[in-house]
């Protein structure tokens, strides 16, 4: 098993695992939003899990690095924190922060992360850009809130894992990117209201079972 030194602590990791997973398995928290161990190709879209690795010029996303024996990494440096805070500001600039009525309130990964990085969820002087409409109800039993979605893709992945295909997909591009459901016949055959793996994996409150179904 590879042995690593992270924040001056010696840890052991499974062969072939990511540095992020090795740290999490050893009780070293690295902010992360788009990572799932079962995903094969980590897209590193949230830009949160930066670490510094000895021998690398710049901080690097730990979810895209495979552990190596004798690797030396630091998770808590000034430049790491600067990058994480910048990524968080970017997410918050397209987020409708209204936690009280949100289903994710108090179990939200974004709240956890903001607290960890000591960044308020409503930073001063941050220009906010929100999408319209604020709720999509085109799925038979799921409501989707684009201004809470961090586009991590976990919902698409777990739906595919569970059913061999996903009824959820990314739609549109750039700022307009959203999660969308398609193939309505597949939606009913997958019995979404009894499944909800997508709702359960969502790290924020962007996908929820419509109230009348609960
Ligand atoms: S997703 Fe999280 S940060 Fe956003 S409104 Fe809901 S609880 Fe608040
Ligand atoms: S709906 Fe939730 S799980 Fe799906 S991409 Fe958005 S934040 Fe991620
Ligand atoms: S968890 Fe690594 S970039 Fe999102």
Residue 186: pLDDT band (50, 70, 90) is low
**For a substitution probing ligand 3, which of 45, 86, 91 has the most ligand atoms within 8 Å of its CB?**
45
Ligand of minimum distance to the alpha carbon of 181: 2
Q: What pTM does this model have?
A: 0.94
Measured distance CA(114)–CA(103) in Å, rounded: 18
Query: How many angstroms separate the CA atoms of 164 and 2, rounded?
Result: 33
Q: Report the CATH number of the 3-86 domain.
A: 3.10.20.740
In the predicted model, what is the mean pLDDT of residues 198-211?
95
Average model confidence (pLDDT) across the chain? 94
What is the DSSP code (8-state) at residue 189?
Answer: H
Distance CA 132, CA 176 (A): 9
Helix (H, G, I), strand (E, B) or coil at 205: coil
Contacts of 166 (CB under 8 A, 6+ apart): 156, 157, 159, 160
Domain boundaries, the chain: 3-86, 142-213
**What does each C-alpha distance from 20 to 30, 147, 148 come to in angstroms?**
7, 27, 24
* 121-148 tens-digit pLDDT: 999 999 999 999 999 998 989 999 999 9
Ligand 3 pocket (Cβ < 6 Å) reads 32-35, 44, 46-49, 61, 63
Same fold, 3-86 and 142-213: no
Instruction: Kindly report, residue by residue over 37-86, the tens digit of the pLDDT.
Output: 999 888 899 999 999 999 999 999 999 999 999 999 999 999 999 999 99
Positive or negative: CA dihedral 37, 109, 213, 146? negative
Class at the top of the CATH hierarchy for domain 142-213:
alpha beta
Q: How far is the CA of 134 from the centre of ligand 3 (A)?
A: 26
pLDDT in tens, 101-125: 999 999 999 999 999 999 999 999 9
């Amino acid at each position: 098993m590879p042995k690593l030194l992270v924040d001056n602590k010696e840890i052991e990791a499974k062969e072939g695992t990511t540095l992020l997973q090795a740290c999490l398995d050893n009780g070293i928290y690295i902010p992360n939003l788009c990572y799932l161990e079962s995903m094969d190709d980590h897209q590193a879209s949230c830009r949160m899990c930066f670490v510094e690795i000895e021998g690398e010029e710049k901080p690097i996303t730990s979810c895209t690095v495979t552990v190596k024996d004798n690797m030396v990494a630091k998770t808590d440096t000034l430049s790491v924190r600067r990058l994480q805070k910048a990524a968080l500001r970017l997410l918050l600039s397209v987020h409708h922060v209204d936690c009280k009525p949100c289903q994710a309130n108090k179990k939200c990964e974004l709240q956890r992360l903001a607290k960890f990085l000591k960044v308020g969820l409503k930073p001063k002087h941050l220009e906010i850009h929100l999408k319209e409409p604020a709720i999509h109800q085109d799925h038979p039993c799921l409501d989707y809130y684009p201004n809470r979605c961090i586009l991590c893709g976990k919902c698409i992945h777990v739906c595919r894992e569970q059913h061999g295909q996903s009824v959820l997909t990314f739609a549109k591009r750039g700022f307009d990117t959203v999660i969308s459901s398609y193939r309505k016949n597949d939606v009913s055959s997958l019995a979404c209201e009894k499944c909800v793996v997508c709702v359960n994996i969502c790290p924020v409150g962007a996908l929820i079972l419509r109230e009348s179904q609960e």
